[in-house]
Structure 1
Amino acid sequence: MKEPVMELTETDIRYEFPVLRSYPDMVYLDSGATTQKPESVLRRIDRYYRLENANVHRGIHALGEAATEAYEGSRDRVFKFINASRREEIVFTGGTTDAINLVASGFRESLLKPGKKILLSGMEHHANLVPWQLAAQRSGAELDFIPVSDDGSLELEDLEARLNNKVAIVALTQVSNVLGTVNPIDRIIDTAHSMGIPVLIDAAQSISRIPVDVQQLKADFLVFSGHKVYGPTGTGVLYGREEWLDRLPPYRGGGDMIDTVDLHTSTWNTLPYKFEAGTPNISGAAGLGAALEWLDRRDVRRVGEHEELLTEILRSRLEELSWIKMLPAPEGARTGLVSFTIDGIHHYDAAQVLDKKGFALRSGHHCAQPLHRRFGLEGSLRASFGAYNRESEIDRLLDALHDTRRFLS
């Protein structure tokens, strides 16, 4: 039986999202893949193309100055949002994957060689695994991994033994996109820094729900995507401590990243422009700034607490069903999502039936094949929350799961 259409009012946070207004009976549970976009973000992107369309940094005319202000104003917004020490430490990228590739490429060219190691974990998204595989293959360095325990946490007992003068960099996710595990990043950074080892943090899943202060964390690099923080696709951020960004070579060549050019040699622009070759995604950067402004108004901490509550409610409800198997995540250190399987039913089949019932869930390996194999799986269903989800949607999901099992059994 089809669910009744829910009336949305202007006091409902869902009202701020055009997609959710257009499909008011849809339950969107795929924010771990991409968040929906509030009206204010869409308006900001539209405003750029309608009223400010020009290239940045190159024109002294009014439109050029407006475009530059939109672009650099968003850099200022990111700088304040993560509490960087300098705005020059904020590099705009095409997303988390692009940002990690930038750092991996820089390390490959200047700091990796045979005998060196890259320390990752067994729960990394492919975006924080494959670039390092390529860097290792091309430099002769080796990969090492912090294992994942049976409860979904990282096995850190031998962390100090793994960290030695052979390790060139540690690169870890702050929140697992499959388990929802919140890793003790501060402890890992402190241990690595005590041995002079830099750390890159993948904050793609954490930036929208956990307040991030890069100075407090003492992170050397931190990356995230705009589309997972209520902003547009094709945008992202690399935060890098100034001394590290100065050490890395340029990632791409072209306009805006140069200081001087002759036919055989060039010199590079200052930070952050050394890493921003060509015409950037100006409208995307403006939209990202608007998204962070929207999230600031909502308060990241409150959003995170809301999603953590929904996570615990869903886990407690699924625990009552013997035919549901949840992937583990340590109690007290998990947030934002729940991954699970249904006995005897393929996750793709379940997702298709749920879609017909108005539920948007992710199915598959979620770009984390090694982590699924760690638990003897090729894939799972994933329900991931956003600021717009409500407890009543969990009740509806449980009913739909019962119906799906009956239909597919």
Structure 2
Amino acid sequence: MIDIQKIRADFPILNKKVNGKPLVYLDNAATSQKPQVVIDSIVNYYTTINSNIHRGVHTLSQKATDAYEQARIKLQQHFNAKKSYEIILTAGTTHSINIVATGFSSLLKKGDEIIVSAMEHHSNIVPWQMLCERTGAILKVIPMDEVGELLMNGYDALLSNKTKLVFVNHVSNALGTINPIEKIIEKAHKVGAAVLIDGAQSCPHIKPDLQKLNVDFYVASAHKLCGPTGVGILYGKEAWLNKLPPYQGGGEMIKQVTFEKTTYADLPHKFEAGTPNIAGVIAFGTAIDYMNEIGFDNIAAYENELLEYATKKLLSIEGLKIYGTSQHKTAVISFNIGEIHPYDIGSIIDKLGIAVRTGHHCAQPIMDFYNIPGTVRASFSFYNTFEEIDLLYNALIKAKTMLC
């Protein structure tokens, strides 16, 4: 069970007022808010053990290294990776995807095919387009339908022995749809293709079991899991990570350097050049602990109640249309009201203290599919309340009255 008042007390920003109104934060798909324990973790690092890691014999360096590597183990356990060194610590989901996309430049040839879905974030489109430009590989797209679900028959038709890579988000950031990644992974493996799953939007709501999924690569960001910005993970099966060349050269990722030749460090350091965001990684571990204490089953159940309540409430507004109506979705509602531009709605309800996202949500192909300029997106987290949904409803009624 969710003790909503206790949880909300953990998040200092939720006491803030915006434009003289209590903050109603419904932009969680863009970034989550941070509990005090995560903020304290960052402060504690800089005030008690600030030092570079892996390189020093002195006490502070050893303590910082221990805390950093303990966070990696927490992430391994949370995501159920087989080995801790299969968790590569990165600057976020986009960074993680680019490591893989760049690495495959040396593994693909002209005429090879790679597949993405029609509902990807730009971060899971552009790197693969760049990869195709470098290698001559061909990008193909799994189609979607009006409900906001992928057409699996269309996916089957794209797969062949030319398919080398498949890239799909676990959850659509624009629609909230939970994609059938188990089937997508299984089908790809049958033709010998590797699979990368973008978990940026799923991980705040779903606790993935990477070994059970049998996925080759999985990426996520800390800042959507109540952690800090600038931190993320790239999970890769050991065999695949050993095949990929390093993404960057520099300190930490080397075994031996001479002017004639450099040999690279073993995993995970091969992909972790330079000084990392040490405080951020440690705080990521703290955020994972915090969310696991609440329990992801509890989080999912409560957020589903919020989604059902908000869906029914918003659909009672005349002219409001929701985009993404799959039965399998997380707590995201993308909508428009008649012909009103989403930006205008977002601007007005911001004056009432309500934070939503407007625009194409870095998923412009989805908006093109629906032939709309964008949507208003309200995205909920486990610290949101039914009363906040009522405030959203009232604000939308007021905005509609002003704009129609």
TM-score after normalising by structure 1: 0.96
Give, in angstroms, the shift of residue 10 of structure 1: 9.7
Q: Which structure 2 residues correspond to residues 78-93 of structure 1 after superposition, within 5 A?
A: 78-93=75-90
Tell me the residue number matched to 2:270: 274
1:55 aligns with 2:74: no
Question: Tell me, what secondary structure is at the counterpart of 1:168?
Answer: strand
Instruction: Name the aligned partner's letter for residue 245 of structure 1.
Output: L
Counterpart pick for 1:371 among 354, 366, 370: 366
CA distance in 1, matches of 2:206, 2:79: 11
1:191 aligns with 2:187: yes
Structure 2 gaps, min length 5: none
Stretches of 4+ moved more than 4 A in 1?
none
Tell me the residue number matched to 2:171: 175
Deviations 1:96-142 (A, max 9, x none): 0000000000011x222211111000000001011111111111111
Equivalences, count: 399
Instruction: Name the aligned partner's letter for residue 368 of structure 2.
Output: R
368-377 or 13-22: bigger deviation:
13-22
Tell me the residue number matched to 2:68: 71
30-39 or 372-381: bigger deviation:
372-381
CA distance in 2, matches of 1:228, 1:389: 15
Tell me the residue number matched to 2:351: 356
Question: Tell me, what secondary structure is at the counterpart of 1:287?
Answer: helix
Structure 1 gaps, min length 5: 1-8
Q: 1:111, 1:168 within 8 Å by CA — same for their partners in 2?
A: no
CA distance in 1, matches of 2:355, 2:387: 15
Question: Tell me, what secondary structure is at the counterpart of 1:152?
Answer: coil
322-331 or 269-278: bigger deviation:
322-331
CA distance in 2, matches of 1:192, 1:16: 42
243-252 or 301-310: bigger deviation:
301-310
Counterpart pick for 2:384 among 371, 389, 395: 389
Counterpart pick for 1:207 among 188, 203, 213: 203
Give, in angstroms, the shift of residue 352 of structure 1: 0.7
CA distance in 2, matches of 1:54, 1:397: 45
TM-score after normalising by structure 2: 0.97
Instruction: Name the aligned partner's letter for residue 337 of structure 1.
Output: V
CA distance in 1, matches of 2:24, 2:9: 14
Tell me the residue number matched to 1:406: 401
CA distance in 2, matches of 1:344, 1:199: 39
1:43 aligns with 2:37: no
Deviations 1:264-307 (A, max 9, x none): 32001000100000001101101111110101101112112211
CA distance in 2, matches of 1:249, 1:328: 39
CA distance in 1, matches of 2:156, 2:260: 46
Q: Tell me how large the CA RMSD over aligned residues is.
A: 1.3
CA distance in 1, matches of 2:210, 2:126: 25
Question: Tell me, what secondary structure is at the counterpart of 1:12?
Answer: helix
CA distance in 2, matches of 1:398, 1:10: 20
Deviations 1:213-262 (A, max 9, x none): 00011110000001011000000000000000000000000000000000
Q: Percent of pairs identical after alignment?
A: 45
Tell me the residue number matched to 1:219: 215
